[in-house]
Structure 1
Amino acid sequence: MSMDPKDPSSFNHKTARLSTGRTYHFVDQIPGQYDAVTTPTLLCVHGFPDLWYGWRHQIGPWVKSGYRVVVPDMLGYGDTDKPFDASEYSTKNLCADLAALLDFIHVERAVVIGHDWGAFTTARFALWHPDRLLAAAIFSVPYTPPSKQYIPIQEVASRAPDFGYQVYFASQESTQTIDANLRRFVRLLFRRPSSKAPGFTKLGELKAVLEKDANLDHLDTLLTPEEFEYYLSEFRKGMNGPLNYYRTSKYRHDEEAAAKLDPKLRANLPVLCIYGSSDPTCLEPLVKKAHKFIPNQKDVPLTGCGHWIMLEAADQVTNAVLAWLNELQGPKKVNGKL
């Protein structure tokens, strides 16, 4: 099946009810000469606000290089279940879903690759289910260990005002405003790094910008008109689920504290961190700090790139992952292990 990044329908779409009781939509691309024992699977986890479609430029090249590539719409997105209650979106629950998805496709261990919230989820998957990963790649969000004490987002934002938008996302009010101004919201978040967008990260700014700033209607984005409309049509299925990820901090903290999660990832787990040098969500000092918890992390900064590296530097990201995987496994794949 040919995979055309411009045509979402050209990918192999599946839907499955998982053992966790949730129904997930996912794309499952199997390479030629696939062998269930020896062919590694790449499980790609998108962030906010995104879809399986965020990986459209990487899926085809990775499949052509001999990998099975599985890309779900995460909980709350697209045609995957969208529970209303925020507690359903705790990372422990998301990781249970990912493990159940691997079970469904009969894959014991995968290379898990995540962007944005997907990077956070990928790293937590390595803590909750360490035996299910061959390797991990995290894009655009550095690893942060489980915290010993809970700090509400309101307090975080009082110390770092640019986190004010997360306070807004954590409120139920944000769902109605964003649903009502979805076209502007998508333009704002997928804007080109060079676009002169209004400030929206401090508390109170985003609601005012979405409702009153008509300049957003003309903001240049990283998406083609067709891609923009596809995202819009999927996000019109409701933004409560995607925003629920920002309403889980207390649930996440309590679950991690109860499980006494180790702050360090498995010592022999290879980890790749790719990030844009101009991305305010992934500052280099925080990337370096993560090495304390991930001794086997390789860093790949992309000069001049912002947050949406799979779009801004599609080929670089694709090839950096392939080069890293080749380094890990050498010239031959043996028993599906890297």
Structure 2
Amino acid sequence: MDQTNYRQTTTKRGFTYSYYFAPPAPGKPVLFFSHGFPSSSTLWKRQVPFFQQRGYGIIVPDNLGFGATDKPTDPKLYSGRGLSGDIGDILDAEQIEQVIAIGHDWGSYVVSRILHYFPQRVSASAFLAVGYFPMDGSLNLVRDYETFIELFGVDIFAYQRFFIHPDAPAIIEKNIDSFLSLVYPETPEQWKTSLTVEGATRTWLETNTIKPLPAYMSTEDAEYLKASLLSGGVSAPLCFYRATDEDANIEEDAQLPPSARDISMPVLYIAFNKDYVALPAFADVGHQKYIKGPFTRKELAVDHWGLLSHPAEVNDILLGWLESL
């Protein structure tokens, strides 16, 4: 991604965001890409050139807590209402009325919250690996683990109980190479024993377990990630997990009408079938309940990072869906 295309703006909440911007060709929509943990805007580096060359406008922020964007460490600042308002401020800075929003991991959460609070800013939405987040208060991802075990037969969010622990940032920063090989697994099956078993994530890091990084993760990419995480510390990125555990959204979400969670615009979901944490079956539950409009579901035999490991397949699905709108 061309560094000269990066810009900065300060949102109404006072946070400075860094974001990639390319204007659309005449008649083309603007695509908004939203990344998750522990990435930055560069997660989309294999998608941005593909779509930019085809005339699509592009906006890709470093989300709050990541990259060159501000890194506050108060979980309440990561509420859905606040994050979605920040994105609206970025769109206003570029005089963009409406986008097609595309999310991955916690980026899917950000996209979902924009749909809840500012649906007029989005004409269609796509979710990769992690599906639409209804945030209806029925389940807490961290505390209701017994329900998830009952539903899916595995403790899919066991690692989050470590991520919200007060000593997690220091342990991750001390063992950053171990952390990268944990989050970017050499084989997809690695997550079955390192993330979805009680205590396994802490043990992996405290013993400084290091595995080879996958082929799609170059040495340069790994060094960039390490520098990006260590420069501002890991406490801020982990606030996405802490905000969920501390129910930072409850007060604001209580003001939403129930109908705000129903999605009538076109939606694409790309299931990554070798993702052993963001299970497609988990996403399917929310989609069946809340998506009321045109819905497209595709599958790829890839792990959580399929947009890095199999960009051609991901890009082809996205392009086909965009052209169908």
Q: Same fold (TM over 0.5)?
A: yes
Q: Which whole-Å deviations, capped at 9, do the CAs of 1:176-230 have from their partners, x for residues lacking one?
A: 111111121012111233575752333322122112144x154546301111111
Q: Which whole-Å deviations, capped at 9, do the CAs of 1:262-308 have from their partners, x for residues lacking one?
A: 364342x1111112111123434334331331132211111x21111
Q: Could you tell me which runs of 5 or more consecutive residues in structure 2 were left unpaired when the two chains were aligned.
A: 150-154
Q: Please name the residue that 2:220 is paired with.
A: 226
Range with greater deviation from structure 2 (151-160 or 127-136): 151-160
**How many residue pairs were aligned?**
314
1:261 Cα deviation from its structure 2 partner: 4.5
Distance 1:298 1:25 in 2: 31
Whether 2:19 is the aligned partner of 1:26: answer yes
Whether 2:52 is the aligned partner of 1:63: answer yes
Which amino acid in 1 is paired with 2:199?
G
Whether 2:163 is the aligned partner of 1:169: answer yes
Percentage of identical aligned residues? 28
Within 5 Å, give how 1:206-217 maps onto structure 2.
206-214=201-209, 216-217=210-211
| Secondary structure at the counterpart of residue 255 of structure 1 | helix
Q: Please name the residue that 2:152 is paired with.
A: none
Q: Please name the residue that 2:197 is paired with.
A: 202
Within 5 Å, give how 1:132-151 maps onto structure 2.
132-149=121-138, 151=140
Distance 1:221 1:73 in 2: 24
Distance 1:144 1:117 in 2: 9
Which amino acid in 2 is paired with 1:209?
W
| Secondary structure at the counterpart of residue 154 of structure 1 | coil
Q: Which whole-Å deviations, capped at 9, do the CAs of 1:141-179 have from their partners, x for residues lacking one?
A: 122423345647234257533322111112221111111
Give the TM-score taking structure 2 as reference length.
Answer: 0.89
Distance 2:166 2:15 in 1: 23
Q: Please name the residue that 1:101 is paired with.
A: 90
Change (3 A) 1:220 1:113: closer
Contact 1:195 1:220 in 2 (8 A): no
Q: Which whole-Å deviations, capped at 9, do the CAs of 1:211-268 have from their partners, x for residues lacking one?
A: 2144x1545463011111111111112111110000112112332123334364342x
- Over aligned residues, Cα RMSD in angstroms? 2.1
Give the TM-score taking structure 1 as reference length.
Answer: 0.86
Distance 2:87 2:173 in 1: 27
Change (3 A) 1:84 1:10: closer
Q: Could you tell me which runs of 5 or more consecutive residues in structure 1 were left unpaired when the two chains were aligned.
A: 4-8, 329-338
1:121 Cα deviation from its structure 2 partner: 1.7
Change (3 A) 1:221 1:241: farther
